[in-house]
Structure 1
Amino acid sequence: MIKRILVVDDDAASCELLREIFAARGWDVATATTPAAARRCFAEQPFDLVVSDINLEADATGLDLLKDFRARCPVILVTGFGTLDAAVTASRDGAWDFISKPFKVDQVVSVVQSALASRGMSSAPPPAAERFVDTSGLVGRSAPMVDLYKEIARVAPTRSTVLILGESGAGKELVARAIHQHSPRADGPFVPVNCGALPENLLESELFGHVRGAFTGAIAERKGLWEEAHHGTLFLDEIGEIPLAMQVKLLRALQEGEIRRVGAARAQQVDVRVIAATNRALEAEVSGGRFREDLYYRLTTATLRVPPLRERREDIPLLSKAFLHKATKTLGRSVQFEPSALALLEAYDFPGNVRELQAAVEYAALHARGGLIRLEDLPPKMQGTRADRPVASDWEKQCFAALPTLDELERRYLAHVLNVVKGNRTRAAEVLGIDRRTLYRMAERFGIKLTDES
């Protein structure tokens, strides 16, 4: 039997694009540009799948349609503004999947095939926390980040132990905090521990606490960090640094849900969810005998990978502007990026990842003269030595020195079109030959405010 799909998007061009993609695979496709039209379509005939944009610029959203249709067929939500909050909300409300624009054709077809194959399976929304406020600090709309948001949304409502993998500075602790904040334990404590920063002889006492007289200097009973995280989340950062002897005790605490203070006669039950993180290849550590295999499998109930910044370069402008906004608050003056400086940041590899980018932006904001961050204001290592740079001839300097960049030309043209059409968004999109979603993204990228709602 031919599968029937309902596509809902307030942008007619987006509807037509998805209709063509799905029709080419032999599926029967109906489209709707308003929530009311979508509901009418569903009332007239059944569908095997609904693919809906979240932001429909109407009295109802894709999330409302999700609640209407999820009991009858799978629903895939699409958005041009991928955020952790959107992914968590979609997962909480029972969406089959969540896709961020711009998407790849193969990606959306694969998700649709999976959803169509699921017909007959339960589509009830998963259990989730009551509060969903994204204060995690995670920033990014690239495909790798949207995939990470979806993984966070899946694991957050559960009790599962989570292992977060990623390079130094990629944001592993932010991911751990996001899981905690979107979990049923959000009102409980989040206790971070840097396992690599604690000496081996203090690690057990710091984690599990001790009784009075347990060792020299133990003049009073002390609660450990594991107990402090009771009814909350314990984040074990750099878990690959824990010595083998301590790994045995950690494994028991994870398996039994109980700990024993150093010097105590009895163990005690503690309700803690453990999230661990490492920048090491733990499988190699297990093979080398430096990490217990049983502990490794206990930690990897759910595994998330945080992408390095070089794998999501399209997020660099967004992150840079967020960091600059913070920095300018501290400096007490307004500073913006010159397009060429932002382009250089986007081209740089950032071995130190997001942490290095934040430091670079703060450096540039501090060294900027006037209201613009220029190339020369960025850290010297990003600019390279003068010997590494091609030397321009006098003729080249005369020809190109005063010419604007392509980014600057695009910004000026967008501003000019908006001025001519008096801010009318629909007309501006028509003149530029783009859809309104692309117009919104362009305006946001260049810091241009769209005023007219039409």
Structure 2
Amino acid sequence: MPKILLAEDDEIMRISVSDRLKQCNWQVDEVDDGLKALSLSERHHYNLIISDIRMPGLDGLSLLGHVHTNSPETDIIMMTAYGSVDNAIDCLRKGAADYILKPFDMDDLIIRVNRLLDAQAVKTKCEALEESCKQRESGTRLFGDSPAMQQVYELIRQAAPTKATILVTGESGTGKELAARAIHMASNRRNQPFVSINCAAIPDGLMESELFGHERGAFTGADQKRKGKFELANKGTLLLDELGDLPGPLQAKLLRVLQESRFERVGGSKNISVDVRILACTSKDLQKEVEAGRFRQDLLYRLQVIPLKMPPLREHKEDIELLCNVFLKEFNSMHGRSVTITREAIECLKNYDFPGNARELRNLMERASVLCQGPEITPADLPTDIAGLQGESEDVGYNLAKNIAVAEKNCLLRALKKSGGNRTKTAKLLGISRKNLWEKMKNYNLQ
């Protein structure tokens, strides 16, 4: 739902405009002076600001300059009863999206607002398309400023320009494939093919053909010659994802290809030479697989020339806020929204260990961004087991009053989530007045 800030000191005009905007199902915040408008614009994201030029506290042009500098994606419509051509030109030159003279027809204002919101939606779709094209070309980037991620970046920086085989390990959801793509893009082969094959997703009987290709008539259904992943990745990079699930017989053939850089298609006798840089990913402990007899020791040695371990999210929680913003930007573009996340929700997430790592966080952000009732993701929009962790993580010992406060806060969070953030429904659910609920939310900083 688009969010609009209306700054107008005339009460009758403010109420009239606000009521008309709300009839279009837009969320509207109202203020009666420029300083309040400035404060709200700094704390919340608005799709559009409609402001009078002459206001107490801070004039509209000063507000326009601040918003245009700090939130350029927000459009601004300036209103005035003292307009002139020079005044209009000055507003537009300073970044206003539109300029309207009082008194004006409300339908005219709605048309202008709709035009600006439609333009924002088109821009969002274009950015999403551009990002999608970038991802197809180079993959999604790795993000994180923590020391753990800095070590990953440094190893990639050193190893990527070489031809060395790199084994990327880590738990599921830590971004192993993204690391592999980052290695490819930082290498001298960045303009050559990047080919990936998931060794766990292809049946054993088809894996050899997928890797090395086959000749016509090599087996039932092989009605034409087909190139395998090695040939498709020639001069580029081949990622062997979930390598720990590669069948035993193919491990020996893969070892030979890695050593000799040549192979034969299934059903063929011709040696095919390739120049391929090999990257491998696995969430399994290959040394334990070797000890259990499920993985070849010599293949492990050949693959693990340079080991790269991706850290689980619980070891670099300081990156959670950055990742949340990155994921929300992606989903806002995808779904045409402008959702942000509150500090309280970030703290809840930081107190959760994320067994599914960054992938789990990404899925959580997509769900929350789609289902949240307002323009911001609050603890009430998070799963109960995560939202409750903010209070449960506090070390209150055996102090009765503090433990009661923690329990009350968690109860508020659960009720807010149950009612979708609607305060009237939440107060009724809790059996208290709306005023009492507001006071408790303010006390626990749940605004």
After TM superposition, the score normalised by the length of structure 2 is: 0.58
Within the candidate set 331, 338, 362, 1:334 is matched to 338
Deviation readout 1:331-364 (Å, 9 max, x if unpaired): 3232211211111111111111111000111111
CA positional deviation for 1:401? 3.5
Maintained 8 Å contact 1:363/1:379:
no
Distance 1:297 1:192 in 2: 21
Q: 1:315 to 1:200 in 2, by over 3 A?
A: same
Query: Is 1:261 the equivalent of 2:265?
Result: yes
Maintained 8 Å contact 1:136/1:181:
no
Distance 1:297 1:324 in 2: 40
Within the candidate set 178, 181, 186, 1:177 is matched to 181
Within the candidate set 368, 373, 380, 1:364 is matched to 368
Query: Is 1:152 the equivalent of 2:163?
Result: no
Query: Is 1:403 the equivalent of 2:440?
Result: no
- Name the counterpart of 1:20: none
- Name the counterpart of 1:352: 356
The alignment-based identity, stated in percent, is 47
- Name the counterpart of 2:324: 320
Q: 1:210 to 1:134 in 2, by over 3 A?
A: closer
Q: Please, which runs of 5 or more residues in structure 1 have no aligned partner?
A: 1-132, 409-454
- Name the counterpart of 1:138: 142
Deviation readout 1:105-161 (Å, 9 max, x if unpaired): xxxxxxxxxxxxxxxxxxxxxxxxxxxx98641000000000000000011000011
Distance 1:401 1:136 in 2: 39
Q: 1:232 to 1:395 in 2, by over 3 A?
A: closer
CA positional deviation for 1:287? 1.0
- Name the counterpart of 1:292: 296
**Which residue identity lines up with residue 403 of structure 1 in the other structure?**
N
Distance 1:334 1:169 in 2: 26
Q: 1:335 to 1:155 in 2, by over 3 A?
A: same
Distance 1:376 1:212 in 2: 59
CA positional deviation for 1:383? 3.1
Maintained 8 Å contact 2:239/2:278:
yes
CA positional deviation for 1:382? 2.2
**Which residue identity lines up with residue 336 of structure 2 in the other structure?**
G
CA positional deviation for 1:393? 8.8
Distance 2:255 2:216 in 1: 25
Aligned residues: 275
**Which residue identity lines up with residue 244 of structure 1 in the other structure?**
G
Distance 1:329 1:262 in 2: 45
Within the candidate set 218, 221, 237, 1:217 is matched to 221
Within the candidate set 252, 258, 276, 2:256 is matched to 252
Distance 1:394 1:248 in 2: 59
- Name the counterpart of 1:162: 166
CA positional deviation for 1:394? 10
Maintained 8 Å contact 1:194/1:238:
yes
CA positional deviation for 1:329? 1.7
Q: Please, which runs of 5 or more residues in structure 2 have no aligned partner?
A: 1-136, 394-402, 413-435
Larger Rg: 2
In structure 2, the residue corresponding to 1:234 is in which secondary structure?
strand
Query: Is 1:375 the equivalent of 2:379?
Result: yes
1:36-115 superposed matches below 5 A:
none
CA positional deviation for 1:368? 1.3
Q: 1:405 to 1:142 in 2, by over 3 A?
A: farther
Larger relative contact order (Cα-Cα within 8 Å, sequence gap ≥ 6): 2
Deviation readout 1:374-395 (Å, 9 max, x if unpaired): 111113442359xx89654999
Please, which moves more after superposition, 325-334 or 394-403? Answer: 394-403
Q: 1:309 to 1:252 in 2, by over 3 A?
A: same
Maintained 8 Å contact 2:155/2:308:
yes
Structure 1 segments (4+ residues) deviating >3 Å = 133-136, 388-401, 403-406
Query: Is 1:232 the equivalent of 2:236?
Result: yes
- Name the counterpart of 2:22: none
Query: Is 1:208 the equivalent of 2:223?
Result: no
Distance 1:142 1:208 in 2: 40
Distance 1:228 1:329 in 2: 33
In structure 2, the residue corresponding to 1:222 is in which secondary structure?
coil
Query: Is 1:243 the equivalent of 2:247?
Result: yes
Distance 2:282 2:381 in 1: 34
Deviation readout 1:239-274 (Å, 9 max, x if unpaired): 000111110000000000011100111211011011
Maintained 8 Å contact 2:230/2:276:
yes
**Which residue identity lines up with residue 249 of structure 1 in the other structure?**
K
Distance 1:181 1:145 in 2: 17
Distance 2:200 2:278 in 1: 17
Q: 1:291 to 1:135 in 2, by over 3 A?
A: closer
